[in-house]
Each structure stands twice: as C-alpha cells, then as structure tokens.
Chains A and B, each alone.
Chain A
Amino acid sequence: MTNEDARSAGAGTALLDVRDLRVEFRTRDGVAKAVNGVSYRVAPGQTLAVLGESGSGKSVTAQAVMGILDSPPGRVTGGEVVFQGRDLLTLRKDERRRVRGAKMAMIFQDALSALNPVLSVGAQLGEMFQVHEGMSRKDARGRAVELMERVGIPAARERVNDYPHQFSGGMRQRIMIAMALALGPDLIIADEPTTALDVTVQAQVMDLLAELQRELTMGLILITHDLGVVADVADTIAVMYAGRIVETAPVHQLYRAPAHPYTRGLLDSVPRLDQKGRRLYAIKGLPPSLTAIPPGCPFHPRCPLAQDICRTDPPPLYEAGPGRASACHFWKETLDGAR
C-alpha cells in the first residue's frame, strides 16, 4: 500500500482514535487543566504532527495515550483512547503493558536519559526480544545487531556491546528508534525526536524515521514545536494551545491559509531562511497558566481579532473545509484574510 492509499483509507479505519481526552494535574497552585477535550485520529501509514509551544499539552496528551502519565499528580479525567478498536483507558494494567511496546512505542527527545546507562545497547535491545518473544540471549543479540544495522549504525557488530554514553547524540537517537521498532509496532509516538540534535544530524534522523514509517506502514504522531520539521514530514497537523486543539488541517492547506489566528501568528513569527526578514510579527503577551485558563476562547487575550463573544463563549471546533477544523468564532475571516 502506498502512502497515498493509506491516507485515503485512513478516513474510515483509524488506527488510533482519541476522543475528548481530558487530563488534570494537582499542583500547589491548584488544579492544572493540561488537556481539555482533545480529539484526533491517526490512520496506518499516516503522519500526524501535533504542534504547540511549551505548556500547550502536546506531550501530556501523548503520555496519556501511551499510558505513561505520571499519576499522581496527573490524572485522566475523561475521554477515550481507542486503539485498533479497543479503548485503552478501560484495559487492565497488564493488558495495557502488552499493548505498549509491542503495538505502540514512543521515542523521546533525550535519548541519554531514556536509555539505561549501565546496560550495553545490545543488552537493552536484546531484552525486548527475550522478554516479549522468549528468545534466547544469543538470538536476541543477533536481532539487536540487525536492528542497529537497519537504523544505520556503522559497525553494528563491533558496537553492540558499547554503552549509550559511547555513542554520539545522533547515534543514540537511532538506537532509541531501533528500540521503538524492535517489536514491530503499528504506531510510533515521537516526542520532539530531533530537538536536541544539530541540524545536519537532525536531517539524518528525520529521514530515517520517515523512511521506516513508509516502509512499515506505521502510524506516526510527531510532537514538535518546530514549524519547519512539521512542514517536512507531516500529512496532517493538529495545533494545540492551552490544552486544546485549536486547528487541524492537511499540512499544505494549513501553511497556505491558516484558519486560526494563533496558527497564523505562529507562522508569521518564525524568521525565514529564504529571506532577510522585516520586523517579525510577535504574538503579544504570554500563554495562559493552566491553573487559570481564561474564560471563552483561551487565546482571546492575545488575539488581534477578539470580540465580546470570544471573551464569553468557548468556540467549538468549526468545520472549516474538507478535513479542516478551527476553534475560532472568526475562522472564516481568518481564512479569508490569509488568502
């Protein structure tokens, strides 16, 4: 199946269907509403980018989907996470653990702290096969070498007994990708997978990830703050702000004509490589504290289009064209203004 078929088929058969997910954290300052009714779908072979700034809830949503939320203080207070037809939130702990790792896997930003520093990478990769597939230590080690070769680690056979700190940042990230792939998952969640890497290495790792995803027809959720990375690899985008999705759209449409003022502000505020900029557009103010999210539209204190209705009525996700939605009362005006 090509990527294109996968995407069109995806409309009906979602691999992952997150519905109205809500997550809260107990903090000293009160209850922080980190995720406030997030819904998204990912089809096999499709890449969904979840874009947002710090505190937008993009990582917490993913942790809740993976079932690795720190709880307490975090708590899922509502919604469903339907993965391959089953709501993961209703599963027993041990059932959930079987899904995690085997069917869905996660790649983190910081490979050095995600890998075990006192185990060789071969042992860590091999452990997956020993535990989940009951393989012998020797066979597992052989599979580990294969995987390392597959993710482009030179001299894998010689390096299989090396420890994580003996690898460079880019190579460590490849090892983490190898671990995520080990059991042939159907969904990968990558949380800022290249943010800590230098730009030339970032390109290598992103290319590897995209290639593997295509080859294995996996669903990929890419969590990032980087508008450039999103433009390079995503099929669809969900933009998050204050624990909500404020806009979703196919990637080309979102960049060409955003339907939410926040998205528009983000696009206008990044300096461009291809032009000596004039003054950058700056979204005024700061993102809200999650313990005191403004009433109405959470973006209204920073929004150039805000009217009275925005201060009182939280906007629903309006359908803003085929495959598009915007949580803005004035999505039409925004869309027209962008064209």
Chain B
Amino acid sequence: MTATATDSIVRAAGLTRRFGDVTAVDGVDVEIRRDRIYGLLGRNGAGKTTLMHLLTGQDFPTGGTLEVFGHAPAENAGVLQQLCFIKESQRYPDDFKVKHVLRSAPWFFENWDEDFAARLVDDFELPMNRRIKKVSRGQLSAVGVIVGLASRAPLTFFDEPYLGLDAVARQIFYDRLLADYAEHPRTVVLSSHLIDEVANLLEHVLVIDRGRMILDESADDLRESATTLVGSRQKVEDFLGSREVLHREGIGGLASVTVAGLTAEERQAATAAGLELAPVSLQQLVVHLTRTSEKEFA
C-alpha cells in the first residue's frame, strides 16, 4: 500500500510538551494514516498519555507543529468532533447513571450506533441503571470501551482502556473492535501495557520512551525484525562480530543474544554455525528497546 498525502490524518513534527523542567514529549515526529490500527506502546511515564492529550487537543504543545485532519486540534470544533478519546480515568457528572452516559454520547459523536452500543451493553453485562459512582472499576472501563467503539469516530484513542476488565471481557473488547473495524474502517490508536494481547490487532506500532518516539514501524516488518541467537558463548560471539546487540543474557557457557534483522543468508549461516534461532515477540522487543535506551541515556 502506498501512502498518498490524503492518507495522513495526523502529522506532528518536533512536537514537544514541557512541564517545568520535565520534557514529557520530546521532539516527536509522527504521521498517523487513515483506517489503520496503531499501537502506542511504552513504559509508564514514557509520554504516551501526554502525547494523546496533545493529539486530541486537550493540551497545547510547547514546541513543534501538529496537524490533525489538517488543522491544529486544540479548540478546533471541526477537528474535535472527529475524535474520540477514551481515557483510563474518565470522569462523569456525579449523578449520572450508566444509561445517561450512553444516552448523551450521540450528542458528541455523529456516527454513534445505538444498536451496536446496546449489543455491547449486553456483551459486558452492564447495569444500565446503576450510578456511575457505584459501578466497579471493570464496569467503568466497559463504559469507556462501549463509548469508544459505538462512537465510530474517524480517529479513536484508547488509553489503557481495560483497567479492571478480566481476560474474558478484554477478549470481547478485542473481538468487537476487530469485527467493527473490518465493517467500518477508521483509525484507532490503542495504548496498552498488555502488548502480547494486542500485538496481532495492530497494523502499525509506535514505541515512545522518555518522550521520544524510538520506533515507528509496520507490525509485519517488526515481527521479523529481531531474532534471539542461543548457543555457546564462543560461537555466539564469533557470529556476532560487530553486529548491534539489543539484549544479552547468559548462563554458564551459554549465551542468548537478541539482534536486529537477519537476512535469510545470515539465518542459514547462524544455523550452520550451530546456533539456535528463536523469534522475538513484540513485547520482548519493546522491553529490549526501552531497556537499551535506559542505559544509553543514564
């Protein structure tokens, strides 16, 4: 698929947000394209939420440029009505019941699908007449998930949307997201710690670390981008040469080293040298990458 200019719905260049002497988002260049599911991954405090606040116009950048649907998003109604941002800790008016949240949602989202919302309420077994203040943490998350899905906004952000949701409920969320996205393509940015759970849903992966975008790649390319080599220390070192190492572990005479992208010939050479090759999951890769930069910047 080739990108055309109109494909791009978010463009940020040198995007920066400082709070006093803390730089939460540090010179981020990123482009988000239409009708794809993105993963925004990184450690706690890496800058994910601040970045999403900037992209959804809830905060002003202190530097750089940002266009969402062609305009700066902050205080721009034309842009904001195309966005839906589901936060980890969304607040609602004190006296609201679950049904009030779902009834007011169509005022904000023109694509709101009431039938879909009703089906999701059944799926998550939400008590419609309970006050929002009284529902469990998982039910509160389910409300957010339902609003995020049924709003069908052209650009939807889910920021750690699953707090308190058990494995079954999270699977319902992922399944409904995929099915509805297939029927109604739109852009979804999913921020998550549960990387292994969401890895297969993603078309594109963004990793932010200490405010910087350290990875911006298609999920397919990433899957084959790293390999762990296991073998005797000497054999591993001989094969490595001056290759860049993402991660290194060892026990006794055995070494386990993760390296970036090997060509088919290199893989054969490694096998021939008696090394075992193991794939690296997206989660492992993100852990390695964000650890490496920790050392680098220490």
Partners in one complex: no
Which residues of A does B touch, CB under 8 Å? none
